[in-house]
Structure 1
Amino acid sequence: MIGVMRYFSVEEANRLVPLLSRTFERVRPWVERAQELADTLSTASSANDPNLAPLREERDGLLESIRSELLQLQEMGLEIKGADGLVDFRAHRGGEQVYLCWRYGDPAVSHWHALLDGFSGRRPIDSPDDFAPTYLS
C-alpha cells in the first residue's frame, strides 16, 4: 500500500513546502527530459531501430528516478497530482473531506478544493482555522 490516509492542517502542509520545493526542483528537469525522449521515441520511424535503445534506457532511468522521488512524498500521505509539481493534502473542512492544494512555485499552501473538483475548483484559504488539525487515522 502506498502512503497512509493522513489529514493535514494548513500549518502542517506549509511545513512541507520547503521539502516539496526542493524535490520538484530536482524532478522537474527529469520530467521535461523524459517527455522529450517519449516524444522522440513516439515519432521514430521504426520502433526496432537499434539507435533508439540508449534513448529508451535514458527515459526508463528518468522515469524510475521520478517515481522514486515522488514515492517518498506519497509515503508521507501526500497525493501527487502532477509530476511537474502539483500536490494535494487531504484535510477536513467542517464535516467535509477536502484537499489543500499546492503548486510548484507557490510560497505556501494557499488554496483548497473539494475532493472531486480538482485544480480548476481551487479556492483561496480564507481562514486556516477552518481546516481541522490532523489526526493520523
Structure 2
Amino acid sequence: MNARYFTLAEARAILPQVKELMEHIQRARREILRLRPDAWPVLQKAATNGGSRAASDLYQEFCQLEKGVKGIMNLGVLVKDIDQGLVDFLGKRAGREIYLCWHYGEEDILYWHDLNAGYAGRRPIDDLVS
C-alpha cells in the first residue's frame, strides 16, 4: 500500500474513486455470498475434473473483489472492513495522526477517529481536522 497523509479536502477529492471501487467490491461480495452455499462441493469436484462453471464464476467474483481492494489501497487509503465497506484515510487533527473515516453508503467523509479507536470511536469532523 502507498500510505500517505490526506487533508480532508484531498480525501474528499478522491472519494468518488473510492466509492466506485467500493461499489465493485460490494457487488462482488454480494455475488460471492449468493454463490457460496454451492461453492465448496463445486470446488471439491473441480479438483478432480478440471473445473466447473460455478467455480469459475466464484473465482471471477473473488478477482473483482481483490481488484477493488487493491485499487483503493493503491490510492493510499486503508480498507478496514469489506463487509461494512469501511475505509480510513490517514490524516491529522491538531497535529496528531488520525483516520478520516468513511463507509459504504455515506455521501461524504463526516467522521474521524484516533488510530487505535476504530469505528466505535468515530467523532464528527470539526475545525481541528486539517
The TM-score range, normalised by the shorter chain, is 0.7 to 0.9
Aligned to 2:109: 109
Aligned residues: 126
Moved more, 47-56 or 90-99: 47-56
Q: Which has the higher contact order (CA 8 A, sep 6+)?
A: 1
Aligned to 2:7: 9
**1:61-76 matched pairs, under 5 angstroms:** 61-76=60-75
TM-score normalized with structure 2 length: 0.82
**Greater helix share, structure number:** 2
Unaligned 5+ runs, structure 1:
133-137
Distance 2:27 2:6 in 1: 29
* Cα pair 1:37 1:59 within 8 Å, conserved: yes
Displacement after TM superposition at 1:40 (Å): 3.1
* RMSD of Structure 2 on Structure 1 (CA): 2.3
* Cα pair 1:17 1:107 within 8 Å, conserved: no
Cα deviation digits, residues 36-79 of structure 1 (max 9, x gap):
2223335x5x8634598332221121111111122122111100
**1:117-128 matched pairs, under 5 angstroms:** 117-127=117-127
Displacement after TM superposition at 1:24 (Å): 2.3
Aligned to 1:135: none
When residues 121 and 39 of structure 1 are mapped into structure 2, their CA distance, relative to the original with a 3 A threshold, is farther
TM-score normalized with structure 1 length: 0.78
* Cα pair 2:101 2:122 within 8 Å, conserved: yes
Identity of aligned residues (%): 28
**1:1-137 matched pairs, under 5 angstroms:** 3-42=1-40, 44=41, 48-49=44-45, 53-84=52-83, 85-127=85-127, 130-132=128-130
